[in-house]
Amino acid sequence: MSSWVLDRSGPPKLHLKTQSLKPLTLLPQASTAALGTHSLYLLCFSTTSSSSSSPNPEMIASVRHLLPIPNLNPTPSHHRRPSAIVICSSRVEASTRKAEPLPVFSTVRSFAPATVANLGPGFDFLGCAVSGIGDHVTVVVDPSVKPGRVAITAVHGAPKLTLDPMNNCAGIAAIAVLRALGVRSVGVSLTLEKGLPLGSGLGSSAASAAAAASAVNALFGDLLSGNDLVLAGLESEAKVSGRHADNIAPSILGGFVLVRSCDPLELIRLPFPAGRELLFVLVSPEFEAPTKKMRAVLPEEIAFKDHIWNSRHAAAVVAALAAGDVAALGAAMSADRIVEPRRSPLIPGMVAVKEAAVAAGAFGCTISGAGPTAVAVTDDQAKGQAIGEAMAEAFLKVGGLRSKVSVQRLDHEGARVVSSIPH
């Protein structure tokens, strides 16, 4: 058998192992994506009498396009670069079998931040992570748990949540990560510490799933990529509120994320310029708005003019982020004509809260995710506190709801390990 080896353990180098090969076909993108984070990738060729001494440059360009290589980042390592791509003569057949990883740590504790989904007109495809608040998950190698299984020993801060891992967001994500890693001989137990209220519109379920996925992945050496962890979290989200990634993606990856597609998963990071102040004023009333209930009120069909309007302003959100223009961001976030008008009546006082935020100097205000949390944006800490107080007063006077005010910055890191104990 003849093969070319593209070595990416250092600067990319191409080594001829035996005779030259003529390309027959490339694996389609979906097949290469399915190979995950293996260190060796198999692409197949037919041996011919042709004696070209170098592989087809278009083929090599295609390989690089299909397998983007992010930089290594060991803490946290949501992205892993393959060490080599092997191109060999064989049938077009991709094997996803890999050696079972062993635990690197006996205990890992991870944190995942809260998220603001939709950002107004970006329903189900725009979201960001916010600092300071979120969930923690501690995962332990546990001999008392059956190999390849997950047990939940405790949930703190949310007594309503079940300890059944098949019906708990953290448990579902942890199981999905074990399966993706191919762990079959070790069982783990986890403890969930809820820092976010349930049904708050701050990505509570996603934060639990993201923290669990991060911790289990780290326990076995950070072998999965960020997208792999998002896919694991999507299994959890599908159980709770539907298959949408606008919470789980930013909670794992940090920053602003545009979800181009869920099937197949395609995510676009949206950088916000360094040095620009951006503050989120989060006002969470004592009122639970279950995501499934809030999605049920949305229309199955919308007017063409509303589609055009929302598309314009969703694009304006992206443009504002690229420019670091907080005022433009706030204006675009406030412009939703499809989702917010249906959900606002279900949140007592929401219309008045939005008006109070703008009157107090906010650049804009909308519902965070499915609600009931209201989110406003500003570029000044002191002003942010005053805006929050005005919003809380409106919730109380008009909606009859007490609320909690929090002024937070963008979380750039996403889910990360906060402590660990070697195995």
Give the catalytic positions in this structure.
237, 291
CA–CA distance from 314 to each of 297, 301, 304, 334, 386 (Å)?
21, 19, 15, 10, 28
Bridge partner residues of 320 (DSSP): none
Distance CA 412, CA 419 (A): 19
Two structure tokens written together for 72 = 């290594």
Helices (H), 268-336: 291-296, 304-323, 326-333
Token output for 130: 């916010």
Q: Is 178 helix (H, G, I), strand (E, B) or coil?
A: helix
Query: What is d(CA 100, CA 335) in angstroms, rounded to the nearest whole number?
Result: 50
Find, among 320, 342, 391, 265, the residue nearest to 119 by Cα: 320
- Prior bond of 264 cis (ω within 30°): yes
Task: Give dist(CA 354, CA 281) in Å, integer.
Answer: 12
> Would you list the DSSP string of 50-113?
---SS--HHHHHHHHHHS--PPP--TT------SEEEEEES-S------PPPPPSEEEEEEEEE
Backbone angles phi, psi at 164, to 5 degrees: -75, 115
Amino acid at residue number 164: D
- Nearest Cα to 384, choosing from 360, 367, 404? 360
Element of type H or E holding 378: strand 374-378
CB atoms under 10 Å from CB of 397, counted, come to 13
User: Rounded to whole angstroms, how far apart are CA atoms 339 and 345?
Assistant: 11
